[in-house]
Amino acid sequence: MYTFNSWSFALFSANLHRYLPKLDWPQHEAVYVNWKDHHRKKPLDELLNKREIDVQALESFRDPSIITLFHLGDHLVWPVLLAQNGIRFNVVLDRAVYLDAKNLFDKLLLQLGAYGHAPELLFSDDRALLLKIRSRIAGGQHLLCFADGSSGSGTIKKDERLPIRFLEGTLWLKKGIPFISHVFGMPVISLLPQGVGDIEQLRLHKTILPAEHEDRERYLLRCLQQLYGSLEKKIKNEPHLWECWGYLHKNGMLGKIVDNQYIANQDANVQVLWQDKTVAFDRLNYAITME
């Protein structure tokens, strides 16, 4: 059973409302239950028997590319399947993301090594990152990124945020993926899972590439908008598919949260525990009031 007087639900609901405000507050409970069930951890062996990569997607990896995935449930099975299909890639990620889930990443690397491929982790704050990427491209290797896998840190210039329209709100996104794409002329390949009978199939959704002489700042916005446009279509009617609702307030995507930005609404309040006391959490303003 799931409780709706928890910080987990309260923050999930507040984040969801920012982008889908037409969903009534009571509907959030059903979305939350579906979200918890969908993102329940499952054994990798079980997943491998019910997942596959579409042939068209595999054929898109002829030249070194930036392979992008989203956190849409059971997402760690896809790197394993890519490795099984002979795709050689290295993973670009924030160091904070790795440290937060170190055991999970280390286990994944061991699993990938069992299939004859041990990708290198390339950290976004590494000053030699672009040189390392250039070297890996020369070796014919791809980059793998979870496009929505950023942390809340922003310590280097390429990690400054850009505002992107998303559903009925704005996401503040890091520049890393389109920046690398523009510097090296690498295509960004967006892959999304699609149900095909009893099988979940990873399909090519979009290939994004800078046009000749396209201004970098213009491309950064265009690439991110198109990349997240794919995600938007995927989750608009099935919001429970996106894992990030639970932590948008921590990874920087919400932007700056301004207290008391919206007129108080009692329907937006949910009871939670704070410092051993019951308080009302205002999901509109991310604010608490004592009972």
> What is the model's pTM?
0.90
In terms of DSSP bridges, do strands 121-123 and 269-274 run parallel, antiparallel, or are they unpaired? unpaired
Helix (H) or strand (E) holding 278: strand 277-282
In terms of DSSP bridges, do strands 169-174 and 161-166 run parallel, antiparallel, or are they unpaired? antiparallel
pLDDT band at 203 (very low <50, low <70, confident <90, very high): very high
The confidence score (pLDDT) of residue 259 equals 55
pLDDT band at 274 (very low <50, low <70, confident <90, very high): confident
Contact 26, 176 (CB under 8 A): no
Contact 175, 92 (CB under 8 A): no
pLDDT band at 23 (very low <50, low <70, confident <90, very high): very high
Query: CA-to-CA distance for 14 and 21, rounded, in angstroms?
Result: 10
Token pair in block for residue 22: 């037409």
The confidence score (pLDDT) of residue 156 equals 47
Question: Is residue 95's pLDDT more than 80?
Answer: yes
